[in-house]
Amino acid sequence: MRVTFWGVRGSCPCSGPGNARYGGNTACVLVEVAGAPPLILDLGTGLRELTGRIPYPELGSSIEATVLLSHLHWDHILGLPFAAPMQLIGATVDVYGPAQESGSLGDAFDRFMQPPFFPVHVGELPGQVRFNDVWDDDMGIGAAKVRMRPIPHKGPTLGFRIEADGAVMAYVSDHQAPAGMGKVDQRVLELCDGADLVVHDAQYTDAELRQKEDWGHSSIGYAVHVAREAGAKRLALFHHDPSHDDVMLDQLLEHAQGLSEARGLDDLISTTQGLAVEIGTAGPSAARLG
């Protein structure tokens, strides 16, 4: 299983020399497994670069891809209209996302993509998008087994567990840490249980979380706690705050690696835009794309 990070920021995209190494695009992760179509986790602004740079043979003729969408906050959906396949007749993208309290997932995108907020509706794009409402589900996508569970955040939100190629990845991009930060939601533990790689919300420092305790996110320390409680092998810190520049993110990674609970992990990394991670029978590896 190959996991490539095309957007690692939370809340909003950010640019500038201070963010050059970690990148400024919002949440978008590509998961590639043998015998399955490309699996894309979230539709943040990283989607534009992903679909523009990955040379799939189908791109330029037709393409089929599957999106696992965690939730509908702007930083997780802004990339959809700008994805290259959406400009191709014959392209088909299946989006599986959280069932909404009112209306369907497709209805929600119709409200987001319409004038005056955007010049065209989803249905007017050359490529076809098929929206699928899911919640507490398990399904197969090609050779991959996908588990979807609701997790604590602001509004309907899903976390995902992907099993394929002898590897397990968990994706918990936005996760509300509980008061006291001791207990871990059972559904989160189910997703992360024994995973080879956990990609987890690590937006805030502990001090920031105390000021924003009900904003729907986790601290770096709580992300480490979740991974340790779940018996995960490797943790990737994700959903970086836009106010945290490269220097600060380096410092936060060093802090996380020094925590006592981090000693129980095989590896702890901080995600950067363009980072590719291999997990599975060949063992873990990581490299940054050029």
* Closest C-alpha to 240, from 199, 211, 277, 189: 199
CA 194 – CA 229 distance, rounded (Å): 9
Q: 135-181, pLDDT tens digit by residue? A: 999 999 999 999 999 999 999 999 999 999 899 999 999 999 998 87
CA 66 – CA 129 distance, rounded (Å): 10
CB-based burial label for 290 (10 Å; 0-12, 13-18, 19+) = exposed
Going along the chain from its start, the domains and CATH numbers come out as: 2-288 (3.60.15.10)
DSSP string, 120-143: S-GGGSSSEEEEEEESSEEEEETT
Task: Tell me if 176 sits within 8 A of 201, measured CB to CB.
Answer: no
Give the pairing type, strands 197-201 and 167-172.
parallel
Query: Over 80: is that where the pLDDT of 55 sits?
Result: no
Residue whose structure tokens are 């835009």: 273
Q: 100-131, pLDDT tens digit by residue? A: 998 999 999 999 999 999 999 999 988 899 99
CA 56 – CA 67 distance, rounded (Å): 16
